[in-house]
Homo-oligomer: A and B are copies of this chain.
Amino acid sequence: MKIALIGAGNVATHLGTKLVEVGEEVVQVYSRSLPKATELAKALGARPIDDLYGLTAKADLYIIAVHDSAIAEVLKKIEEIVVDKMVVHTSGATPAKVFEAAPDLVRTGVFYPLQTFTKERKVDFSEVPICLSAADETDLNLLELLALKLSTNVYKVTDAQRAWLHLSAVFVNNFTNHLFEIGHSCLKKQKLPFEMLLPLIQETVAKLDGGQPKLVQTGPAVRGDFSTVERHLTQLNGRGDLQEIYRVMTKHIKRTHADNWTH
C-alpha cells in the first residue's frame, strides 16, 4: 500500500515508523515545517513536502496526523487532489463530521491509535489498540487489514465510542499523570525523591490486570476513615488547589463506594 503521511509530529512519527517496519510504503511526508518533514521522510524513505498542493495523487491511503484543529483545513486543501482515495485522520477527539468540510471526499475514515506518544520513547505498537471507522464497509475492511499488521488490538468503533475512548483516555492518562505531578511536588517540598512513589504507582497499575479497578480501590475515602480525610485536608491548608482536588476525588469515591461503609 502506498501511503501519504500528512503530519510529522508524535503520532505521524510512531505510526509512520511502524508502517515502514511492517513493509508498507510511505511515499510522502508533509509538514508545514520542511525540516520536520525532511527528518521524518528521510527515516521512512519518503519524499518530504511543506506545501499540500504538492501532494501526490497516487497514494492509496492518506493519513492525516495533524493537530485536531488543523484537520478541516487540511481536508479542504487536499479535497481535489485525493477525491477518490481513502482519507483517514488519526484523532480520537475529532468526530467524523469533520469530513463535511470536504464533501467531495467519500472514502473517509478514522485510524485512531489509543496511546500517548512521546517523540523520544519507543512504543510497542503491537499492543496499541487501533480504533477504526470508515464511511464505507469495504474501506473499513481494508483499514482493518492494515491495522492488524501493526497491532493485535484492532477495534471497529462508532463515532460515539471513539469520543468516549478519548475522554476516558484523558481521565486515565492526562489526569493520572497530573496526580503523579502532584505527588512529585509534595515530595519535593519535603526534600524526598519522587522515586519513593514508583513502586506504589507500579503496583497500582499491576493490580488492574486482575479485573475491575473498583474492586481494588483502597484508601481513607473508600473505607470511610474520615479522621484521616480531615487530617489530610488540614495538611493541605494553604494549598487550596490540591485541597479542591482532594475534596472532589474523595467525594466521588465515597459516592461510588457508598455501599462499602454505610453498612
Contact = CB atoms under 8 A, between A and B. Distances in A.
A181 B227 contact: no
A194 B176 contact: no
B186 A69 contact: no
Contacts of A225: 67-69
A237 to B, nearest CB: 12
A17 to B, nearest CB: 16
A99 to B, nearest CB: 17
A255 to B, nearest CB: 7
A199 B114 contact: yes
B155 A114 contact: no
Among A172, A222, A253, residue most surrounded by chain B Cβ atoms (within 10 Å): A172
User: Taking the full assembly, how many copies of this chain does it contain?
Assistant: 2
Band of interface residues on A: 35 or more
A177 B218 CA distance: 8
Contacts of A212: 181, 184, 194
Interface in A33-82: 67-69
Given A164-B186, A168-B182, A205-B202, A173 B219 contact: yes
Contact of A190 (B118, B160, B172): B160
Interface in A170-210: 170-184, 186-187, 189-192, 194, 196-210
B216 A177 contact: yes
A69 B225 CA distance: 9
A164 to B, nearest CB: 5
A260 interface: no
Contact of A118 (B155, B216, B252): B216
Given A187-B165, A199-B129, A236-B167, A218 B174 contact: yes
A263 interface: no
Contacts of A179: 171-172, 175-176, 179
19 contacts: A67-B225, A114-B196, A116-B218, A118-B207, A129-B199, A161-B190, A168-B182, A171-B245, A172-B200, A173-B219, A174-B219, A174-B249, A174-B253, A177-B213, A177-B218, A178-B249, A181-B217, A183-B213, A202-B205
Closest 6 CB pairs of A and B: A174-B219, A180-B213, A168-B183, A181-B213, A172-B183, A175-B249
